[in-house]
Structure 1
Amino acid sequence: MILNLILKIAAIFNLGCMGANYLGGDANGIIVNGFCAVALLLSSNNLD
């Protein structure tokens, strides 16, 4: 349960980083952070 919460917080943080990369014009950062955010959300959903 705690792990699930940590994964969701990490995913939100990742989306924030993705936004920062978008504002900074870093395309690679956007792709990496987007991929990581999706992976974190999928793994947290599987723990339920």
Structure 2
Amino acid sequence: MAARALLRCGKPDYLAAHPELLLRLTIGLRKRDGRWVVTHEHHSFADTNP
């Protein structure tokens, strides 16, 4: 199973100047002994260079 999210990460003045910047987060989960355990985590910003 995977969980995905788009986040805004930064100080308020920076986020106001760059509202298009979103942090992508993906977390891979597996069930072990009846509990969900994080088995993989990845985060990245989109490449905004032309």
Bigger helix share: 1
TM-score for the superposition, normalised by structure 2: 0.28
Bigger strand share: 2
Q: Which has the higher contact order (CA 8 A, sep 6+)?
A: 1
TM-score for the superposition, normalised by structure 1: 0.29
